[in-house]
Chain A
Amino acid sequence: MPSVSERLVTPGRAAGGVALVAFAAVALAYPSIAPNPYLLSVGIVVLNYAVLSTSWNFVGGFTGYISLGHGALAGLGAYGTGLLVTKGGLPSFGALVVAALLVAALAVPIGYAALRVRGASFVIVSIALVLVTLLVFQSWASFTGGSRGLNVPRPFPGMLRPEHHRVFFYLFLALLAVALLVWWLIDRSRFGLGLKAIREDEDKAEALGTPTFAYKLVVFVVSAFFTGLAGGLYALWFGDLDPIFQFSILTGSYMVLMALLGGVRNLFGPLVGALVVGVALEYFKVEFGNTPLHLVATGVLLALVVLFMPDGVLPALGSLLRRLDRTTDSSIREVTAAELAAQRIGGEQHAQSRNG
């Protein structure tokens, strides 16, 4: 007999499954149904946000450490890829992988220093990372191109723009799928349980024998690797890098905003957040042009979510579904003697069938 947790297909799970299939279907068909190349490129930008936010959630969601510095890791991935192509002469996608591995390697000393502090201190250290990298890449113009920017050659020369968008849309979608798969694998593993224990109470986890620092460092490196890949893929797609945009505090803030909005404890939280915020951002940009008003609108959106759905959109939807279905209402439910007996008999039968 299956245990209580896996017994039912709950309304929440069913709705989640339907939503996931629907998202996958729409995403796969999107390049064919997008009315123009501009909207296709918006799709790519939103997917890029989804990958970045999911990558951020390896640290933010599992350990509860809020990094505003992940924009720097994305920027390093982007510049690493661009420089390896232009100066190193590597093939585009070889450069992408090498750059992401370099970002992951660099994340070891960065994490070693930053993960020693918690809470607000960690947030400030992570902001410092963005500022330092921005200064380095702006000032070291002979190598990085500085504020004049860095031109990254297209990986598919001769390909027309709509086709180029189409290919990159699927590349970002594939990267998103891999990032989600790895997050899911960690989520259900013993390693993931240790990480979540850190999020809940780090000292307590340590006292129970979890090497918390090593756990945090490993997951920070994994997060950096995916963030670097997202940044590098963006560089290959967009083809033009400027330090002021690549090493921006805004990038990291968007990742946090999207993950919080969707729900950091949920596999698909950052994706949902990216769909909402990403689409809203692009829409506000078209409506309000390049004024800071789109930032104000985004801020209002965040405030509303924090006020009314502090755990994010997905958990709010989940509890709404549970309220509609009164049978699984309470987390501590009364168990009748008959149910207990049934469980016991079921357990014995299970044990017998395993032994037999």
Chain B
Amino acid sequence: MRSLETVELTKAFGGNVVLDKTTVSFRHGKVNALIGPNGSGKTTFFNCVTGMIRPDSGRVLYGGADITRRAPHAIARAGIGRTFQLCRVFPRMTVLDNVLAAARPANLFRGARGRAEVDRARGWLTKLGIEHLAGAEARNLSWGQQKLLELAGVLMSEPETVLLDEPAGGVNPALLDRIGGLVRELNAEGRTFVIVEHNMDLVMSISDHIVVFDRGRPIAEGPPAAIRSDERVLGAYLGV
């Protein structure tokens, strides 16, 4: 059972303790949501888990193995893919190359556009509805299209756990529905999701398990129904 968990994960920037002995574990094979007020440490948590930031202390475990000090690419190869809060694509590459760049080639010195890989990449583009843009440069895409492209790239790298940092940020309601549906569909195929999100409608509708952060610590966790009525959560969000 490969679950993602942290043990007393701590990170401070100067005197600002962003993660404070955070111990949390996510449900494997489920859609997990990580919510909390701005500045509660959600993105820093993602960065520590994926190796982009080195935590001051504590451990990150994936499937029981300690991945705390591993390089980001090694963590990605262990099966954890991620998107970024401010969507990141390779701006001056074509949409197709953006996705191909996420493939894990066995032989580095073969052509980058092998038939099997291109077919797989186009498959993901089709699934996300941006196949018609395959030949366009990524920087010419709209914000929403770039978010879909980023997701296509992450999926191309075949992660078994996907961390999404604000997938609904700045996208229109129709696209929001599509992203929500896609998460459920991909989850049904066996992928685990951990989603940082402020859009409560989306969180409540697609999550199986919700963890609430406040000031770098989990203050509540449980299914959507329980979280919705939890007083500590209301307090953290509304200051009551």
Give the interface of A toward B (CB within 8 A): 4-5, 185, 188-194, 196-197, 200-201, 203-213, 331-332, 335
Contacts and interface: CB of A to CB of B under 8 A. Distances in A.
Nearest to B154: A208
Contacts of A194: 101, 108
B157 A208 contact: yes
Interface string B41-81: 00000000010100000000000000000011110110001
A189 B110 CA distance: 5
B108 A191 contact: yes
Nearest to B134: A4
A217 B112 CA distance: 20
A209 B135 contact: no
A212 B108 CA distance: 13
A185 B110 CA distance: 9
Contact of B111 (A4, A188, A208, A212): A188
Contacts of A5: 135
B107 to A, nearest CB: 7
B20 interface: no
Contact of B73 (A196, A200, A209): A209
Contacts of B100: 193
Given A207-B81, A208-B73, A209-B102, 9 more contacts: A197-B101, A200-B91, A200-B92, A203-B88, A206-B76, A331-B135, A331-B136, A331-B140, A332-B140
Contact of B157 (A200, A203, A209): A209
A208 B101 contact: yes
Contacts of B134: 4
Interface residues of B, number: 41
A1 to B, nearest CB: 14
Contacts of B107: 190
Interface string B122-149: 0000000000111111001000000000
9 contacts: A189-B111, A204-B90, A205-B101, A207-B52, A208-B153, A209-B102, A210-B73, A331-B136, A332-B140
Interface of A is mostly: helix
B214 interface: no
Nearest to B150: A204
Contact of A200 (B74, B93, B105, B132): B93
A269 B104 CA distance: 30
B110 A211 contact: no
Contacts of B103: 190
Contacts of B74: 211
Nearest to A331: B136
B97 interface: yes
B209 interface: no
Contact of A335 (B89, B109, B110, B132): B132
B88 A201 contact: yes
Contacts of A190: 103, 105, 107-112
A350 to B, nearest CB: 10
Nearest to A354: B115
Nearest to A212: B73
Nearest to B136: A332
Interface centre among A4, A194, A208 (most CB of B within 10 A): A208
Contacts of A196: 90, 93, 97, 101
Contacts of B132: 335
Contacts of B97: 193, 196
Nearest to A5: B135
Contacts of A204: 84, 88-90
A211 B90 contact: no
A181 B89 CA distance: 29
B104 to A, nearest CB: 6
B72 A206 contact: yes
Nearest to A200: B90
A211 to B, nearest CB: 5
Nearest to B84: A204
Nearest to A311: B92
A210 B105 CA distance: 10
A332 B133 contact: yes
A204 B50 CA distance: 11
A207 B76 contact: yes
Contacts of A205: 90, 101
